[in-house]
């Protein structure tokens, strides 16, 4: 029983520590190294609900953000960054919501700058 208590105490200390590190990264900047489609990009598009309105079943506005090939199309025609940066001449995305966090926009830009690979 005592061992179990110590173990759970150790675990909670450990997770508090991990949490603080994330907080730190959040405050001090944005890590745009090694952004991968299959990990970061898919996650960001899901987090903001983009994929919910733009997928194989419902391609709102004719835009499909499901699968690398479809995302690449919207990257190449400039509409992805235009819409999430709220540039003039583009519909502002995510639709009817506040702008995405700068760090997430920067991550997508970093991935595009590296060639928008299917990685
Ligand atoms: C609630 C549904 C909804 C969500 C969430 C949403 N969109 Fe859209 N999106 C639309 C609709 C509908 C259009 C067509 C234009 C319009 O009516 O606003 C559109 C248009 C677009 C376009 C074309 C823009 C243009 O000017 O040609 C892009 C690119 C796009 N969305 C990307 C995104 C991204 C990226 C996200 C997430 C950050 C997102 N959308 C979230 C519904 C949505």
Q: Does any ligand 1 atom lie closer than 6 A to the CB of residue 44?
A: no
The answer for residues whose C-beta is within 8 angstroms of residue 33's C-beta and 6 or more apart is 110
Contact of 116 with 72, CB cutoff 8 Å:
yes
pLDDT on residue 57: 96
Contact of 63 with 79, CB cutoff 8 Å:
yes
Residue 24: pLDDT band with limits 50, 70, 90: very low
Quote the ligand 1 centre to 7 CA distance (angstroms). Answer: 47
Residue 18, pLDDT > 80, answer no
Rounded-to-integer distance, Cα 58 and Cα 77, Å = 20
Rounded-to-integer distance, Cα 112 and Cα 98, Å = 23
Q: Does any ligand 1 atom lie closer than 6 A to the CB of residue 112?
A: no
Residue 1, pLDDT > 90, answer no
Backbone angles phi, psi at 34, to 5 degrees: 50, 50
């Amino acid at each position: 029983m005592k061992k179990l208590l110590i173990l759970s105490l150790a675990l909670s200390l450990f997770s508090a520590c991990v949490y603080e590190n994330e907080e730190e990264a959040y405050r001090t900047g944005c890590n745009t190294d090694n952004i991968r489609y299959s990990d970061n990009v898919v996650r960001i598009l899901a987090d903001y609900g983009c994929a919910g309105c733009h997928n194989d079943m419902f391609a709102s506005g004719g835009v499909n953000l499901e699968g690398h090939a479809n995302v690449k199309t919207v990257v190449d025609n400039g509409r992805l960054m235009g819409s999430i940066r709220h540039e003039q001449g583009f519909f502002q995305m995510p639709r009817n919501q506040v702008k995405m966090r700068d760090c997430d926009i920067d991550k997508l830009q970093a991935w595009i700058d590296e060639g928008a690979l299917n990685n």
